[in-house]
């Protein structure tokens, strides 16, 4: 509180003095009474004169500390000494995870998941549209090669990438070298798993040494980082071939980056949404079989919805973020975007688990099974959202008939659906947790004025949000996280009754709630809006319950064909 008061006082004093917003205020004495009163009023506090006199010297001392810290702002890769633990509100979490890890089939045998009898299409261009499991089967059977698939992906990225504005950097030399190595291994009988030889893209906030890692933002467009992101290293180990670094909205917000606006392949007049803009657009347009995205608050769910892709936001702590841009240390998550649920599961299995770098990541089982008895999974649905659209839902994007049809599909697959409700707790007062952490991660942009280089300068964009976040008191940030724990306890109670619940992807407060609590979400297409863009359905699971999530979502997807539709012109 006192820290915030003094920051406010200094900024106000600086503006009154006519200096720039980045110019340091005088530090040769305590702030005057008018500055303290103005700063206190700004954040809703009221001190009497004696109290203001008492705290003035402390505020001056704190400003000296701020000056010392700002003289050595840490690199974006350095996390705070505090970390978020999604399991803290789950009674018996350790025992549950340990028991699951000991259960038979705790690790999937992906050979059992490869489809049988897959034949190479007569038209080689059709390879671009096959789902990941089919491509894996063709590679194992020798009907295609990694070099052929990689060359095709690079050609399609060159052809269609400029229209979609979805590519930042092509990794031709690296990709072709890895593809040829994958083919040599396959010829020798060494199969690394279902990603072996499959081309893919990565969101350009993942570091690859020797190549720019731009974070989609003008201030970083020439940045080359020395570390290799753990996710990329694990894709390499799995035999996947990273062919491109794909666009993201600047600093992981939206679809506008320093080179333009990434497009929805179903409607080129419309943005792809974001922030995993290029990853979703490239998969939906058949440019890569899968891609890596990230989510802090909707950045996988939203572009997958807009572009008609399938995406999996894993549990917080499932996938290491080492080598990824940090936006919010307690909310950032990395996950796959693909054409099918099965493809997402294969990718998640390859990239999950501890790496010794990201201390939030734990070893948790991922027991994907080929055949699941639907009676063994308790499935709920957010009844209110399948009855009436919420006030926040756009008319063009809401279709109760499609949503209710999705429930019928699940019932037809053998699941018994029970109505559930989200906790009656407003999560939006907690949303500034993200703003505070993002403002800390990129405070150097605010202090130096380089935030002016970001393309979007409207009120609802990072430059303004990060400036405003400088006024969030540490006390209020901690209070918000205490309320967050209560929300986590609410969800622990909800998931005591069900393993998975189904929901329209938007509407209600579930997207923000579950990003705050760390729960996994799987999003897939379930129809089209009135203007011809895809729309989506989501499945939300228990913490580290991605296996059940995959089973339920796969049953829905296997019974529908929305995911095989193709945008015209690609």
Classify 449 as helix, strand or coil. coil
Model pLDDT, residue 2 = 35
pLDDT above 70 (res 526) = yes
pLDDT above 90 (res 10) = no
What is the sign, positive or negative, of the torsion defined by CA atoms of 204, 205, 211, 212?
A: positive
The answer to whether residues 445 and 219 touch, using CB atoms and an 8 Å cutoff, is: yes
* Dist CA 518 CA 189 (whole Å): 40
Total Cβ atoms within 10 A of residue 545 = 21
Q: Which one of the listed residues 272, 279, 299, 538 is annotated catalytic?
A: 299
* Dist CA 439 CA 27 (whole Å): 23
**Helix or strand run (H / E) with residue 12:** helix 2-16
* Dist CA 243 CA 250 (whole Å): 21
Total Cβ atoms within 10 A of residue 243 = 31
Query: Mean pLDDT of all residues in the chain?
Result: 93
Q: Which of 172, 175, 265, 167 is nearest to 216 (CA)?
A: 167
pLDDT above 60 (res 3) = no
Helix (H) and strand (E) counts in the chain: 18, 15
Q: Which one of the listed residues 14, 275, 328, 435 is annotated catalytic?
A: 275
Phi, psi dihedral angles at 184 (to 5 degrees): -65, -40
Phi, psi dihedral angles at 450 (to 5 degrees): -70, -10
Q: Which of 448, 439, 441 is nearest to 22 (CA)?
A: 448
Please report the DSSP string for 543-554 in residue order.
TT-HHHHHHHHH
Encoded tokens for 127: 């390879």
* Dist CA 62 CA 47 (whole Å): 18
Model pLDDT, residue 7 = 37
pLDDT above 70 (res 524) = yes
* Dist CA 195 CA 523 (whole Å): 21
328 given a catalytic annotation: no
* Dist CA 314 CA 292 (whole Å): 12
Q: What's the alpha-carbon Rg for the chain, to the nearest Å?
A: 24
For residue 406, the number of C-alpha atoms closer than 13 Å in the C-beta half-sphere is: 30
Classify 244 as helix, strand or coil. strand
* pTM across the whole model: 0.94
More confident call, 533 vs 349: 349
Total Cβ atoms within 10 A of residue 478 = 10
pLDDT digits (tens, 9 = 90+) for 254-306: 999 999 999 999 999 999 999 999 999 999 999 999 999 999 999 999 999 99
Phi, psi dihedral angles at 487 (to 5 degrees): -65, -40
pLDDT digits (tens, 9 = 90+) for 52-95: 999 999 999 999 999 999 999 999 999 999 999 999 999 889 88
The answer to whether residues 526 and 537 touch, using CB atoms and an 8 Å cutoff, is: yes
Encoded tokens for 527: 């129809």
For residue 467, the number of C-alpha atoms closer than 13 Å in the C-beta half-sphere is: 15
Q: Distance of CA 404 to CAs 498, 519, 532, Å?
A: 19, 24, 20
Q: Which of 102, 130, 272, 114 is nearest to 203 (CA)?
A: 272
Phi, psi dihedral angles at 258 (to 5 degrees): -65, -20
Average pLDDT over residues 457-468: 95
Encoded tokens for 110: 């992906």
536 given a catalytic annotation: no
Model pLDDT, residue 19 = 35
3 given a catalytic annotation: no
pLDDT digits (tens, 9 = 90+) for 105-155: 888 999 999 999 999 999 999 999 999 999 999 999 999 999 999 999 999
Domain 129-361+368-426+481-564 top-level CATH class = alpha beta
pLDDT digits (tens, 9 = 90+) for 177-219: 999 999 999 999 999 999 999 999 999 999 999 999 999 999 9
- Ordered by start, the domain boundaries in the chain are 1-72, 129-361+368-426+481-564
For the chain, the 3-state helix, strand and coil shares in percent, each to the nearest 5, are 45, 15, 40
Average pLDDT over residues 441-454: 97
The answer to whether residues 529 and 306 touch, using CB atoms and an 8 Å cutoff, is: no
Alpha helices, DSSP H, located in 220-307: 230-237, 277-284, 301-307
pLDDT digits (tens, 9 = 90+) for 165-183: 999 999 999 999 999 999 9
Q: Which one of the listed residues 203, 302, 320, 505 is annotated catalytic?
A: 203
Model pLDDT, residue 325 = 98
């Amino acid at each position: 509180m006192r820290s915030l008061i003094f920051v406010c006082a200094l900024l106000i004093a600086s503006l009154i003095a006519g200096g720039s917003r980045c110019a340091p205020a005088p530090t040769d004495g305590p702030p005057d009474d008018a500055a303290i009163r103005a700063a206190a009023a700004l954040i809703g506090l009221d001190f009497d004169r004696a109290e203001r006199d008492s705290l003035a010297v402390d505020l001056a001392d704190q400003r000296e500390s701020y000056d010392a810290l700002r003289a050595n702002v840490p690199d974006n890769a350095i996390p705070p000494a505090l970390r978020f633990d999604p399991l803290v509100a789950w009674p018996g979490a350790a025992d549950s995870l340990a028991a699951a890890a000991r259960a038979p089939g705790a690790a999937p045998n992906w050979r059992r998941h490869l489809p049988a009898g897959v034949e190479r299409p007569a038209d080689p261009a059709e390879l671009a549209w096959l789902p990941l499991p089919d491509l894996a089967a063709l590679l194992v059977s020798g009907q295609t090669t990694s070099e052929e698939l990689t060359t095709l992906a690079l050609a399609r990225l060159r052809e269609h990438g400029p229209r979609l504005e979805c590519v930042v950097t092509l990794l031709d030399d690296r990709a072709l070298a890895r593809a040829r190595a994958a083919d040599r291994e396959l010829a020798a009988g060494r199969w690394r798993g279902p990603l072996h030889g499959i081309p893919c893209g990565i969101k350009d906030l993942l570091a690859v040494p020797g190549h720019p890692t731009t974070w989609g933002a003008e201030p970083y467009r020439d940045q080359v980082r020395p570390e290799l992101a753990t996710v990329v290293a694990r894709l390499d180990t799995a035999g996947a071939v990273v062919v491109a670094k794909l666009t993201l909205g600047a600093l992981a917000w939206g679809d506008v980056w320093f080179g333009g606006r990434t497009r929805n392949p179903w409607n080129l007049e419309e943005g792809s949404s974001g922030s995993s803009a290029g990853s979703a657009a490239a998969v939906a347009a058949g440019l890569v079989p899968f891609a890596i995205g990230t989510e802090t608050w909707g950045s996988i769910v939203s572009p997958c919805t807009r572009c008609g892709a399938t995406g999996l936001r894993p549990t917080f702590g499932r996938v290491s973020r080492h080598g990824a841009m940090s936006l919010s240390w307690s909310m950032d998550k990395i996950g796959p975007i693909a054409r099918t649920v099965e493809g997402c599961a294969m990718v998640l299995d390859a990239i999950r688990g501890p790496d010794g770098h990201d201390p939030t990541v734990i070893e948790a089982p991922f027991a994907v099974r080929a055949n699941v008895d639907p009676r063994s999974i308790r499935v709920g649905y957010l009844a209110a959202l399948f009855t009436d659209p919420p006030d926040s839902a756009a008319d063009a994007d809401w279709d109760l008939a499609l949503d209710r049809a999705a429930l019928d599909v699940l019932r037809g697959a053998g699941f018994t659906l029970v109505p559930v409700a989200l906790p009656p707790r407003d999560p939006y007062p907690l949303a500034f947790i993200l703003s505070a952490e993002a403002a800390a991660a990129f405070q150097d942009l605010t202090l130096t004025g380089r935030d002016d280089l970001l393309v979007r300068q409207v009120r609802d964009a990072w430059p303004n949000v990060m400036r405003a976040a400088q006024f969030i008191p540490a006390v209020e940030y901690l209070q918000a996280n205490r309320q967050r724990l209560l929300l986590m306890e609410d969800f622990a109670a909800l998931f005591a009754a069900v393993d998975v619940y189904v929901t329209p992807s938007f509407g209600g407060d579930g997207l923000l709630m579950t990003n705050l609590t760390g729960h996994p979400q799987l999003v897939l297409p379930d129809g089209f809006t009135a203007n011809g863009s895809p729309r989506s359905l989501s499945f939300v699971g228990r913490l580290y319950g991605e296996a059940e999530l995959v089973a339920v979502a796969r049953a829905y997807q296997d019974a529908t064909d929305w995911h095989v539709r193709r945008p015209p012109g690609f």
